[in-house]
Structure 1
Amino acid sequence: MDRRTFLCLTAATAAAATGCRSHNYAHILKGDDIDLVGSHQAGAAVWNPLVDESVAKLMSRCVPGVQAIHPAGPEEIPPGVMMPASHQLPLVGTRPATVCFVGIENKSSEEIGDFKDQLYERIDSQVSGHESFQLVSRRMVEAALRETRLRPDSLFLPTNRDVFAGTLGRQGSPVDFLMYATITSGTTERNKSTQRDYLLSLEITNIHTGEYFKESATIRKGYHDSRGGKWWQYGVFQQGDG
Structure 2
Amino acid sequence: MQPTTPLRPASKAAAAVVLAAILTTTSGCAGRQYGHLLASDDKDLVGSHAAGAATWNPLVEESVAKLLSRCPPTVQPVTFEAPSELSLDGVIVPSTLNGGPANVCFVGIENKSAEELGDFKEQLYEQIDSQINSNADFRGISRRMVQTALRETRLRPDALFLPQNRDAFAAVLGKAGSPVDYLLFANITSGTTDRNKTSQRDYTLTLEMVNVHTGDFLKESAKIRKGYSKSRAGKWWNYGVFDQADG
Q: TM-score, normalised by structure 1?
A: 0.81
- Say yes or no: does 1:64 pair with 2:73: yes
Q: Deviation digits for residues 99-147 of structure 1, max 9, x if unmatched?
A: 0000000000000000000000000000001111101100000011111
SS of 1:21's equivalent in the other structure is coil
Contact 1:40 1:223 in 2 (8 A): yes
Among 140, 148, 164, the residue aligned to 2:145: 140
Kindly state the Cα deviation for residue 22 of structure 1 after the two structures are TM-superposed.
Answer: 2.8
Superposed structure 1 runs of 4+ greater than 3 Å apart: 18-21, 75-79
The reply on whether 1:171 has 2:198 as its aligned counterpart is no
- For the pair 1:197 / 2:197, whether they are aligned, the reply is no
Q: Give the aligned partner of residue 64 of structure 2.
A: 55
Aligned mates of 1:58, 1:65 — CA distance in 2? 14
Select the structure of larger CA radius of gyration.
2
Q: Counterparts of 1:178 and 1:164 in 2: how far apart (Å)?
A: 10
Aligned runs of 1:1-242 on 2, under 5 Å? Answer: 21-65=30-74, 76=81, 94-242=99-247
Return closer, same or farther for 1:78/1:154 CA change in 2, 3 Å cut-off: farther
Whole-Å separation in 2 of the counterparts to 1:105 and 1:112: 10
Distance 2:60 2:67 in 1: 11
Q: State whether residues 66 and 77 of structure 1, in contact with CA within 8 Å, keep that contact through their aligned partners in structure 2.
A: no
Sort the Cα spacing of 1:94 and 1:125 in 2 relative to 1 into closer, same or farther, 3 A: same
Between 18-27 and 130-139, the greater mean CA deviation after superposition: 18-27
Gaps of 5+ in 1: 1-17, 69-74, 80-92
Equivalent pair of 1:178/1:205 in contact (CA under 8 Å): yes
1:21 positional shift = 3.4
Q: Tell me the secondary structure at the aligned position of residue 104 of structure 2.
A: strand
Aligned to 1:110, the other structure's residue is in SS state coil
Cα distance, 1:55 vs structure 2:
0.4
Q: 1:78 and 1:157, CA in 2 relative to 1: closer, same or farther beyond 3 A? A: farther
Kindly indicate which of the two structures has a greater share of residues assigned to strand: 1
Tell me which amino acid in the other structure corresponds to 1:163.
A
CA distance in 2, matches of 1:56, 1:181: 14
TM-score (norm 2): 0.79
Answer yes or no: is the 8 Å Cα contact 1:98–1:135 preserved in 2.
yes
> What letter matches 2:67 in structure 1?
L
Match of 1:6 in 2: none
Deviation of 1:98 (Å): 0.5
Taking the aligned partners of 1:21 and 1:114, their CA distance within structure 2 comes to 26
User: What fraction of aligned residue pairs are identical, expressed as a percent?
Assistant: 67
Q: How many residues align?
A: 207
1:11 matched to which residue of 2?
Answer: none
Contact 1:180 1:204 in 2 (8 A): yes
